[in-house]
Amino acid sequence: MNILFVCSAKSWGGNEKWTSMAMKALSSEHRIFFIGRNEQLIERFGKYTDHLCLPFSSYFDVVTYFKLKQFIQKHNINLVLSTKKREYFLCGLLSKHMGFKHLMRLGVTRKMNIPLWHKLNYHQLNDGLIVNAQQIKTQLLKHPFFEPQKIHVIYNGLPGFDESSELPVKNENDSIFRIVSSGRLTVQKGFHLLIEAISLLPEAYRQQVQLKIIGDGRNKEEFEQQVINLNLSHNVSFTGFVNHTTDELQGADLFVLLSQREGISNGVLEAMTQGIAVMTTNAGGISEIVTDHENGFIVNRSAEEVKNKIQFLMDHRKLVTSAGAKGFATVKEKFGFTRFTKDTLKLINLFSPSK
């Protein structure tokens, strides 16, 4: 098949990582095409037969609509996989007009508080939804216009990580307790709460903590200013975007992510592949992989509670090490890239024109 991925992101995050992984997984059997919004991001998505950048200025962008239509006609596209809200509607309209199949990828739960619009956009204008957590499917099915058979749960894969991967050997750190967090730098991801939690630690603990924040996003400058205002410049550093997040995870004791909404975070999974204990909010599908005080730690989205949990874990480092090892075993079982590739190909092949 000729498969077109559409991703109108302006910056790189978990959704874009998923898109890149899915393109790689499907390229073994299909011709892959790509349409994006930001020329600077294009190369990060990997290999494709042809690509195009379009403005996606709104849900009703006429210029994007007609150029998208021309691209689909030119390359005889059989299936379009849209990944962001900006393109869901446009791709859906074109699918009904032109007759190709349209799948939507939904990485987090969304409010469905405009019934007619959301029924049109999320149900009528597509042939199925791909979600990365059973919890997202459960939440969607609370709305009467969704059908169970149209929602497909496929856990994220992790390139380079598979059933044969071995638990990394961790060097014994000094007294420093190293925390890492990664993702799109937005308030929704909770980085401001983590920074505040570090500032609330008793001085003796705070002197032992180093926090590294990996990624880029619209609130980065706000978080950097927060660090300055709280006199945490010696404790907190920002790496910006990096190509290989796992390189920045080396030597970490704890990975923290305090999302308000989430599917299953790639950042959490990447940390677990390195045997690093994770502490995260119970958002989206996290309960499908993390059991509190077993293979990770669940915390409420509160700076005070995060501070208390960090302080507890600093006093119980053997528990942290044990949780990291058990977390590695969890992702090895469920999130290998071979399994992701197999599941994704199986689903996509259901939409072959010959079916």
* 297: its two tokens: 């730690």
pLDDT digits (tens, 9 = 90+) for 298-331: 999 999 999 999 999 999 999 999 999 999 999 9
- Consecutive H or E run containing 130: strand 128-131
Q: Name the residue type at position 97.
A: H
pLDDT at 196: 98
CATH topology of domain 2-157+337-349: Rossmann fold (3.40.50)
**Ranges of CATH 3.40.50.2000 domains, the chain:** 2-157+337-349, 177-334
Low-confidence spans in the chain with pLDDT less than 70: 171-173, 355
Residue 166: strand, helix, or coil? coil
CATH class of this structure's domain 177-334:
alpha beta
Inter-axis angle of helices 303-315 and 191-200, to 10 degrees? 60
Question: How far are the Cα atoms of 9, 21, 111, 213, 278 from residue 270, in angstroms, in the given order?
Answer: 21, 13, 28, 14, 10
Inter-axis angle of helices 337-349 and 14-26, to 10 degrees? 70
| pLDDT at residue number 355 | 60
Which of 263, 274, 262, 277 lies closest to 318, judged by CA? Answer: 277
**Residue in 13, 5, 86, 105 with CA at minimum distance from that of residue 51:** 5
pLDDT value for 74? 97
Strand-strand pairing, 79-82 and 128-131: unpaired
* Sign of the dihedral defined by the CA atoms of residues 244, 260, 20, 62, in that order: negative
Q: What is the pLDDT of residue 247?
A: 86
Q: Are 8 and 37 a contacting pair, CB within 8 Å?
A: yes
Burial 320-354 (b: 16+ CB within 10 A, else e): bbebbebbbebbbebbbbebbbebbeebbeebeee
Query: By C-alpha distance, which of 256, 269, 270, 253 is closest to 196?
Result: 256
